[in-house]
Structure 1
Amino acid sequence: MTDEPLLRVRSISKFYGNRIGCSDISFDLYPGEVLAVVGESGSGKTTLLNCLSTRLLPTSGSVSYRMRDGLFHDLYRMSEAERRFLMRTDWGFVHQNPSDGLRMTVSAGANVGERLMAVGQRHYGDIRATATDWLGRVEISADRIDDQPRAFSGGMRQRLQIARNLVTGPRLVFMDEPTGGLDVSVQARLLDLLRGLVHELGLSAIVVTHDLAVARLLSHRMIVMKDGHVVESGLTDRVLDDPQAPYTQLLVSSILQV
């Protein structure tokens, strides 16, 4: 990890009238680091993720991203076009429901190829070859390249969504409950795949999950949210093995009792 963070989050808050989405959240994310944001439904973790990824305008606070030229840019001072370009190239976003992150009526190869075209690739043969390679990396057989995602299982769709996001070599990936809704055996394989790719590519990632096992497997650090506030943060193993906040203790003990 370098000395300079990739993402600087300062006092991010989002309010819906009198209701708190998230309140006064600050942290730095470093290159190659995976941060898990955990908490129960309604804790504010998805609101925070959407604010960080510019899908939702925060009420207050700032999010700065270090571009490839080494300079920090305030995401909310950038134009809409600049932010969209960032989302297509330097960032990825893995949705809980893969159909939200895929075009269901075009082929698997076209889903991956679209991202390559967004960064300027135009040679059909090269795009197809890269798409085939990436399908293999996410354990989808090359003979499925012309099949549409709607012909795939839930686990295959999620793997395809991951390939679509990672093919452009992004530096930062946002993941919203990436294993949610999948069978336990499918979850385990997907987590192994994700962990391997994150390590191999040196990705930074912010992973929202209610599953502490997912957080332990994927993340270096974690923040625990309750009612829109961060109640505890630290190295993942430390937080899970020696939770300090009563709410975190409750979360951890409830897992152990299952």
Structure 2
Amino acid sequence: MSELPLLSARDLGKLYGPRIGCEAVSFDIHEGEVLAVVGESGSGKSTLLKLLSTELAPTSGNIRYRMRDGVTRDLFALTEAERRFLLRTDWGFVRQDAREGLRMSVSAGGNVGERLMAVGERHYGRIRGTALDWLGRVEIDTDRIDDLPRDFSGGMRQRLQIARNLVTHPRLVFMDEPTSGLDVSVQARLLDLVRGLVAEMGLAVIIVTHDLAVARLLSHRIMVMRHGHVIEQGLTDQVLDDPREAYTQLLVSSVLAA
């Protein structure tokens, strides 16, 4: 594993007119590392995720990514074709609403198979076999392979979205509130599944969440955002057990009081 960061953000900022989306955000993430970005609604964490995944262009700063050939590139200097290829292969994006991350009119197996076809797989039998394997890995009954996602529960849709994203063995996965809106028992199973797959595959993950319990369970490091700025960052247990900033203390105490 390289000692160089997989992704580096430097002085990253996004303005919406006079309003700050985020400002002066800098960090590195390495392979096998999970970084949680936490904060209240409006703190800038979703803007940051959209910048990192190139869905938004920054107003200031830059993001550099180490490609599979070892060359580190400025993400916003990539061609549109290069950027789209990254999104289809090297990266995954697990969205809060699975309907945005799945093709709802395509079967469960087809959703997984589409990603394989994006990396050049054309053999129907191998595609279906790999899709079956991945449905099993994310605890979806394999006899549901030809069912449409609209017939799945919320938890099953999220697990299918995870299978669709991980089937190409990406190196970096973005997650936007992946457990939001799910029952507590479903959340627990999903988090357990994600933690196991992340460890097994050595993924780098950037997860945005307002839930500090999710951050504690999944992440190695944590960044706390408020009003578009990173106000505290460090090892997850360190920050959550001994928060330095008053705002972080408030976040942690509100979870304990809940």
TM-score range, shorter chain: over 0.9
TM value normalised by structure 1? 0.99
SS of 1:239 mapped into structure 2:
helix
Counterpart position of 1:235: 235
Cα deviation code 1:169-210 (max 9, x no counterpart): 000000000101101110000000000000000000000000
1:2 Cα deviation from its structure 2 partner: 3.5
Tell me how far apart the structure 2 counterparts of residues 220 and 16 of structure 1 sit (CA, whole Å).
Answer: 31
Counterpart position of 1:127: 127
Tell me how far apart the structure 2 counterparts of residues 164 and 51 of structure 1 sit (CA, whole Å).
Answer: 22
Tell me how far apart the structure 2 counterparts of residues 166 and 42 of structure 1 sit (CA, whole Å).
Answer: 29
1:3 Cα deviation from its structure 2 partner: 1.5
Counterpart position of 1:85: 85
SS of 2:192 mapped into structure 1:
helix
Tell me how far apart the structure 1 counterparts of residues 29 and 131 of structure 2 sit (CA, whole Å).
Answer: 30
Counterpart position of 1:150: 150
SS of 2:92 mapped into structure 1:
strand
Q: Which runs of 5 or more structure 2 residues have no equivalent in the other structure?
A: none
1:45 Cα deviation from its structure 2 partner: 0.1
Counterpart position of 1:159: 159
Residue type at the aligned position of 2:111 = N
Mapping of residues 1-258 of structure 1, within 5 Å: 2-258=2-258
Percent identical pairs in the alignment equals 74
TM value normalised by structure 2? 0.99
Q: CA RMSD in A?
A: 0.6
1:9 Cα deviation from its structure 2 partner: 0.5
SS of 2:206 mapped into structure 1:
strand
Q: Which runs of 5 or more structure 1 residues have no equivalent in the other structure?
A: none
Residue type at the aligned position of 1:186 = V
Tell me how far apart the structure 1 counterparts of residues 95 and 76 of structure 2 sit (CA, whole Å).
Answer: 22
Tell me how far apart the structure 2 counterparts of residues 177 and 142 of structure 1 sit (CA, whole Å).
Answer: 26
Tell me how far apart the structure 2 counterparts of residues 135 and 107 of structure 1 sit (CA, whole Å).
Answer: 12
Cα deviation code 1:129-151 (max 9, x no counterpart): 00000000000011000000000
Tell me how far apart the structure 2 counterparts of residues 174 and 71 of structure 1 sit (CA, whole Å).
Answer: 21
Residue type at the aligned position of 1:253 = S
Residue type at the aligned position of 2:145 = I
Cα deviation code 1:4-35 (max 9, x no counterpart): 11001000000000100000000000111000
The runs of 4+ residues in structure 1 deviating greater than 3 Å are none
Cα deviation code 1:108-161 (max 9, x no counterpart): 000000000000000000000000000000000110000000000000000000
Tell me how far apart the structure 2 counterparts of residues 32 and 4 of structure 1 sit (CA, whole Å).
Answer: 12
Tell me how far apart the structure 1 counterparts of residues 2 and 64 of structure 2 sit (CA, whole Å).
Answer: 16
